Amino acid sequence: MTDLSLSSKNPIAVRTDALVVATAKTSDGVAIVADHLPAELVTEIEAIAPQLGITGARDEVRKVPAGPRLKADVLVLTGLGERAEDGTFAPEILRRAAGAATRELSGVASAAVSLPATDDTELAAVVEGSLLGAYRFDRYRSGDDDGAKAPVGSVEVLTTLARGTKAKLAVERAGILAGAVHATRDLVNAAPNELYPASFADAAKAAAKDVKGLKVTVLDDKQLSAGGYGGLTAVGQGSSRGPRLVKIVYAPAKSAKGAEKIALVGKGITFDTGGISLKPSASMETMKSDMAGAAAVLGTMVAVARLGLPVAVTAYLCLAENMPGGKAQRPSDVVTIYGGKTVEVLNTDAEGRVVMADGLASAVEDGHDTIIDIATLTAAQMVALGPYTAGVMGTESVRDEVKAAADTAGELFWPMPLPDELQANIKSKVADVANSGPRWGGMLNAGLFLRTFVGDTPWAHLDIAGPSYNEKGAHGYTSPGGTGVGVRTLVAFLENRAAK
């Protein structure tokens, strides 16, 4: 990962390949948001900005010669958009601007970032963005014939706050978070012939091995069948590569005796063909990403342990491959979930909620006080909220806590209801519940299905189907492919709980 450090050096005198400063949109053009730059240079750039296509818009990155007044080779201008009414820029705006700049600096050995961060919260956002933007997935490249280059080698964030204790802690936290997000992205981007339930379980064990405080237990397909995990067993039986349930326990000594226990449950369908209810070919192209929820949970657990948060957390990674093999489950099958509830399978492409039911029921049995699940669960989430905003639903208090954590983290989540009036949509004629309902309210129908398996336990469900995988061009600190969404929100949620 890119090396990052803080410095209180004068940006004018810093010797670096690229000096990053901010631009902003104004009523009459563009402004350079960098008081430390020579006034003559600022005036020159602002004057020729229209000819250079510089507008100050968000996600806009432009490179210009630094000139003799600076020690840097290139001056990089990253857009912040318009100022807020109070004249400031929100932390997420700074995070995105820093990430957009470092993302555009691939192949550069060193960069210095000088953005208008006036307090520790804003500085933390700049540091996070700088690291999140410096990512590339090249595992399967045999060379650089595609023109892609390695992420920027090192980043020096220039700030008057550099010597403060909070600033140093912010750098440490940002490094841990970015590492967790990058690891999550790597898993989501991995090819499905390489990442399947057993190898995902191995990856979880390998990730936990290097982190103090994590204990991993894996149940294989035979153990799942014998133990009554009917959801995982049914979904995975159509594949030659059997399902797995990975349980990761973090129980730090610093957590108070009798303190609450939190469970994180992640959907891990390593490839989803739809099963017998086969998807159209075009709809399968990104289905290697159907395990993004489980990947986010794994990344969160590693981050929480490395941060040393004084809160007890247990993760349940529900891993299966949904294939239409000769032993695959059929529409009309009835499946018995862990704990005894039965599910009528009306659509084998509504498999994620079925494997999650096993994980949720197990988390309830283990006595957790709060449960959060995260899953690429429904295409209806994208219909309702688009490709960038995730849905969060469940117990209102927990749902609202998650939304607040997401706002702090800079991830887009939107609270959704779970109306009792829709419960009839998942009523089965032969079993306790059906795994599929009508098209209308599909995201909410899935949420209601999951609620069946948590009982009275406070719970939130995060549907990240859209924002988990970026099918379009890069933006901000987000590259094409796996985004790692959810990790920062879950960590912020757990930090808030730990602070209580």
Q: How far apart are the first and last CA of the chain?
A: 32
In this prediction, residue 143 has a pLDDT band, given cuts at 50, 70 and 90, of: confident
Mean pLDDT value of segment 401-426: 98
pLDDT of residue 308: 97
Selecting among 71, 279, 341, 403, the annotated active-site residue is 279
Query: 353, 399, 451, 497: which is the annotated catalytic residue?
Result: 353
pLDDT band with cut points at 50, 70 and 90 for residue 256: low
Annotated binding site for Mn(2+): 267, 272, 290, 349, 351
> Do the beta carbons of residue 316 and residue 362 sit within 8 Å?
yes
Residue 142 has a pLDDT of 85
Q: What is the mean pLDDT of residues 268-278?
A: 98
Q: What is the pLDDT of residues 25-45, one digit of tens each?
A: 999 899 999 989 999 999 999
Model confidence band, residue 144 (pLDDT cutoffs 50, 70, 90): low
**What's the whole-model pTM score?**
0.97
Pull the structure tokens for residue 426.
Answer: 């998942």
Cα-flanking dihedrals φ and ψ of residue 390, to 5°?
Answer: -90, 155
The Cα 98–Cα 20 span in angstroms is 8
C-alpha to C-alpha distance for 267 and 246, rounded to whole angstroms: 11
Query: Would residue 25 show up in a list of annotated catalytic residues for this protein?
Result: no
The pLDDT mean for the chain works out to 96
Cβ contact 157:8 at 8 Å: no
CA distances from 214 to 313, 315, 349, 474 (A): 10, 10, 33, 34
Q: What is the mean pLDDT of residues 365-373?
A: 98
Annotated catalytic residue 254? no
Residues annotated within a binding site: 267, 272, 290, 349, 351
Domains (ranges, CATH) in the chain? 3-159 (3.40.220.10), 179-499 (3.40.630.10)
What's the pLDDT at 363? 98
Contact status, residue 168 vs residue 19, Cβ threshold 8 Å: no
Residue 390: per-residue pLDDT:
98
Q: Provide the pLDDT for residue 146.
A: 57
Which band of pLDDT confidence, cut at 50, 70 and 90, is reported for residue 117? very high
